[in-house]
Amino acid sequence: MCLAIPGKIIELDPQNTHLAVVDVVGVRRKVDLGLLQDESPRVGDWVLIHVGFAMSKISEADAVDQMQTLTMLGEAEAAMQEVRGYGLENEEQADSAPRWKQ
Amino acid sequence: MKFVDEFRAPELIAKAGEEIRRLADPNRHHRIMEVCGGHTHAIYRFGLKDLLPANVELIHGPGCPVCVLPMGRIDDGLSLAAQPNFIFAAFGDMMRVPGTHGSPLEYKARGTDVRIVYSPADALKLARNNPEKHVMFFAIGFETTAPSTALTLVRAKAEGLRNFSVFCNHVTIIPAIRAILDSPDMRLDGFVGPGHVSTVIGCRPYDWIAKDEGKPVVVSGFEPLDILQSIVMLLRQLRRGEAKVENQYKRVVPWEGNRAALRAMAEVFELRPYFEWRGLGFISQSALRIRSSFAEWDSEQRFSVPGVRVTDPKAAQCGEVLKGVLKPAQCKLFGRECTPEQPVGALMVSSEGSCAAYYNYEHRKPITIASAAAV
């Protein structure tokens, strides 16, 4: 629950300005950007996600480090399970093989 | 040797270990509390304790949301879920936490509609998709998750979605630290401050620990090197006789926190006069409740809640372990009646609970980076 999952903003939702599609090692899900409203998030920004909400902007290098940390902590599987779980019935099936395993 | 290969900069780890041994005052026993359960997990996972000299002791703090929730709250939430056309939604961490008559998972097996969600936004979505049912999100967590629950309630109200409510168990970290410092059987020299809570609240709320209590605080990241560096920073302060708040996790934690998140929390929540914590008892102004302007979306204002109070199983010593007075293995039930497979207390359920961490990584003793780096 307290996992912080790094992802990259791929697309802002034109209808719902607080929603964005975020890519987490190949898995794409909608997350809420409402808690980043002071930082005007843009496509291409890297963010840390907690329970489906982007909580902070980070650098790309820190995003890579964070994924590495999750892997080291044995939490990468749980993190990806969490990301896949966002949106319940998973409208978007853009999953590809998780890259950190390669 | 799996962890060693995955590990970055083992030479820096070894260096940090040396620096810790150099800085630790041989005439003192340093007791440092890591507040956050995520840190506890990392410390056990990497066997960091083995890198520390005998006079630098890590005490595990109360920062595990599942662990500090008293059983009565779980019973209250599950009793509401027994109503017809009711969906009980919660994070996966909650599912195996025992209530008096079973865990949410066991209720599910007996026919209660219990769903795992990964985000409060998905509980809201359940409500949208099931207009004939009421969806209650059983919210737990410190300031890391509270803003997300708050925004979800803002969205529910804006949409006028009336078949959704939140059973709010959100707690705040500062009063818990105060309760621990006030506890007569606890002597601490400094704190490894929580990383992700601090992305929300920033570093200022810890000022009083340094100024009034004279104890250093270092907000820390979660990598082994982060935690060791934070211990170095704490020992350096102790050596110089200083007490200040420092931020080791600058790459993620802004000094001022996340103002948008704090605004969302302030709009939706107010402090409860008091709240019961497992192990720590009643702590005043330590938890959040939903403001009356959101009453319609507050399970407690909307439904009648029994207000159950349950004492923990007598033999289990969760409270002492939570306060850091006992180590997990010193509990009479540890590893016998209470295991991750058959947990008696919540500390054995969550991966952030010190008992589960101790059981998985210490009790079973895997090969860790520390044993390699120490060579």
CA distances from B114 to B77, B125, B156 (A): 11, 15, 20
pTM for the whole structure? 0.92
Average pLDDT of the residues of chain B:
92
pLDDT at residue B76, rounded to an integer: 96
The architecture of the domain spanning B1-369 is 3-Layer(aba) Sandwich (3.40)
Of the candidates B38, B122, B142, the beta carbon closest to that of A88 is on: B122
d(Cα B137, Cα A33) in Å, to the nearest integer?
A: 20
**ipTM summary value:** 0.90
Q: What does the pLDDT look like over A7-60, one tens digit per residue?
A: 999 999 999 989 999 999 999 999 999 999 999 999 999 999 999 999 999 999
Phi and psi at residue B209, to the nearest 5°: -65, -40
pLDDT at residue B369, rounded to an integer: 56
Using an 8 Å CB-CB cutoff, list chain A residues near B264: 34-35
d(Cα B251, Cα A64) in Å, to the nearest integer?
A: 13
- How far, in whole angstroms, is CA B104 from its chain's centroid? 19
Chain A, window 39-98: residues with a beta carbon less than 8 angstroms from a chain B beta carbon: 39, 48, 50-53, 55-56, 58-59, 62, 65, 68-69, 71-75, 78, 82-83, 85-88
Sign, CA torsion B37/B59/B35/B300? positive
Using an 8 Å CB-CB cutoff, list chain B residues near A38: 258-260
Interface contacts A/B by beta carbons within 8 Å: 122
Q: Which residues contact B166 (CB under 8 A, 6 or more apart)?
A: B120, B136, B137, B139, B149, B152, B153, B290, B297, B298, B299
Q: Do A51 and B352 touch (CB under 8 A)?
A: no
Give the single-character DSSP code of B358: I
Q: Do A56 and B351 touch (CB under 8 A)?
A: no
Domains of chain A: 5-86 (2.30.30.140)
Q: What does the pLDDT look like over B223-277, one tens digit per residue?
A: 999 999 999 999 999 999 999 999 999 999 999 999 999 999 999 999 999 999 9
**Widest CA span of chain B, in angstroms?**
67
pLDDT at residue B318, rounded to an integer: 87
Of the candidates A69, A83, A85, the beta carbon closest to that of B223 is on: A69
Assess A4–B contact: CB distance below 8 Å, yes or no. yes
- Torsion over CA of B348, B349, B351 and B354, rounded to 10 degrees? -20
Give the single-character DSSP code of B297: G
Q: Do A55 and B129 touch (CB under 8 A)?
A: no
Using an 8 Å CB-CB cutoff, list chain A residues near B352: 2
B344 versus A88: the higher-pLDDT residue is B344
Q: How far is A8 from chain B (nearest CA, A)?
A: 15
Q: What does the pLDDT look like over B326-363, one tens digit per residue?
A: 899 999 999 999 999 888 888 998 888 999 999 988 77
Q: How far is A75 from chain B (nearest CA, A)?
A: 10
d(Cα B112, Cα B78) in Å, to the nearest integer?
A: 9
Q: Do B148 and A35 touch (CB under 8 A)?
A: yes
Place of tokens 């791929």: A10
Q: Do A51 and B119 touch (CB under 8 A)?
A: yes
d(Cα B259, Cα B264) in Å, to the nearest integer?
A: 9
Of the candidates A51, A72, A75, the beta carbon closest to that of B118 is on: A51
Q: Which residues contact B38 (CB under 8 A, 6 or more apart)?
A: A2, B63, B194, B195, B196, B222, B352
Q: Do A2 and B129 touch (CB under 8 A)?
A: no
Q: What does the pLDDT look like over B264-314, one tens digit per residue?
A: 999 999 999 999 998 888 999 999 999 999 999 999 999 999 888 888 777
Q: How far is B82 from chain A (nearest CA, A)?
A: 23
Number of C-alpha atoms within 13 angstroms, CB side, residue B27? 2
Q: Do A55 and B42 touch (CB under 8 A)?
A: no
